[in-house]
Amino acid sequence: MILQENVDLRPYTTFGIKAAARYFTTLRSNEDVHSFLNSRLFLNGKHLILGGGSNMLFTGDYAGLVARMELKGIRVVDETQDHVTLYAAAGENWHDLVMYCVAHNYGGIENLSLIPGTTGAAPMQNIGAYGVEIKDVITSVEAVDKKSGEQRTFSNKDCAFGYRESIFKQEAKDQYLINGITLRLTKRNHVLHLQYGAIQETLNGMSIADPTIRDVSNAVIHIRQSKLPDPAKVGNAGSFFKNPSITVDAFQLLKEKYPSIPSYPSTEGLIKVPAGWLIEQCGWKGKRFENIGVHPNQALVLVNYGGGDGGKIWDLAMQIRDSVIDKFNITLHPEVNIVMQ
């Protein structure tokens, strides 16, 4: 395990916020993981596991040890005529894994094309897009218990997946280092999910009547590139807040006041309301405050135009949250992981 000191984290997060890690290391092998978990710095100080840094906001410098997950490897674990079970190490880039599956005609994650970050972080918040969540294909999550060093396998059920949620953000928060996941994918008779967003419309525009999983992936990539700000051009961490779920009664009251309020069904009889719409109604869309702001096309995305301060982005997020409470009596919760100074 190679240890670096006072490392600028800007290249390691998509927000590109200026923050330094007091100590920094990369985990490239099981030996690195072992050394990390037994290191004096891990045992005596605070630490943080970093994937691609696409769901993180550092509000200032980090006084502990940051360990960047870089374990690599994809392999077939099991195969039948219809299905394949793949193991992917936690440090594999998620989109590269999707591209690998598309190239091998393995179906199931094509709608999750172009989501930034690592494979190991994907189960953390049960990544989802365009009607598919990773929980739909995941068979297990392999993780090391950070205290005992023991390897543990979590079944899909054990992971307690929910909307942008899993056991790793709840009961088991900070207890495990995920080192790999297994996915069960289709080899033929793929089940395509075309009903969400503009996928069908985009395929029509491409004159594709009988799409393959590659076509669906291409359509998703096309839609995402036209809708979402590219972190390589403007710093951001995707959706800053989760879409809130409210009771049917609360929704009816809001609907009387705001007839155009959009909604879609959520779990347990609740109604989900797009957080971006709520934020837009509060007048935040496109607002810029020096070098940070709210994206002009996506009110749910907070941006760093360059040189932005993480603490100021967090202050802005809290102002947005308060204004949504004042106007709609709905509390927004961050989807992004906030690392307080």
Q: Is residue 137 part of the contact set for ligand FAD (CB under 6 A)?
A: no
Query: Using the rule CB under 6 A, which residue among 52, 276, 308, 334 binds ligand FAD?
Result: 52
Find the binding residues for ligand FAD in span 236-255 (CB under 6 A).
236-238
CB of 256 to ligand FAD, least distance (A): 32
Cα 320 vs. chain centroid, distance in angstroms? 21
- Given a contact cutoff of 8 angstroms between Cβ atoms, the answer to whether 184 and 137 are in contact is yes
Work out which of 90, 138, 324, 332 binds ligand FAD, going by CB under 6 A. 90
Integer Cα distance of 117 and 95 in angstroms: 8
Task: Select 48 or 221, whichever has its Cβ closest to ligand FAD.
Answer: 48
Give the position of tokens 């989501």.
Answer: 115
Options 107, 108, 116, 310; binder of ligand FAD; rule CB under 6 A: 116
User: Binders of ligand FAD: how many residues, by CB under 6 A?
Assistant: 32
- Contact with ligand FAD (CB under 6 A): which of 1, 33, 49, 282? 49
Please name which of 231, 247, 274 lies closest in space to residue 95, comparing C-alpha atoms. 231
8 Å CB contact between 106 and 186: yes
Classify 306 in phi/psi space as left (phi over 0), alpha (psi -120 to 50) or beta: left
Q: Which of 92, 239, 245, 321 is catalytic?
A: 239
Place of tokens 């299905």: 83
DSSP assigned state of 317:
H
β-strand pairing of 151-155 with 74-79: unpaired
Query: CB of 232: closest distance to ligand FAD in angstroms?
Result: 10
**Among residues 266 and 337, whose Cβ is nearest to ligand FAD?**
337
Give me Rg for the CA atoms of the chain. Answer: 21
Least Å distance, CB 210 to ligand FAD, is 26
Residue whose CB is less far from ligand FAD, 55 or 85: 55
The neighbour count for residue 175, using CB atoms within 10 Å, is: 15
Give contact residues for ligand FAD (rule: CB under 6 A).
Answer: 14, 48-56, 69, 90, 115-118, 120-122, 124-125, 127-129, 177-178, 228, 231, 236-238, 337
Residues with catalytic annotation? 164, 239, 335
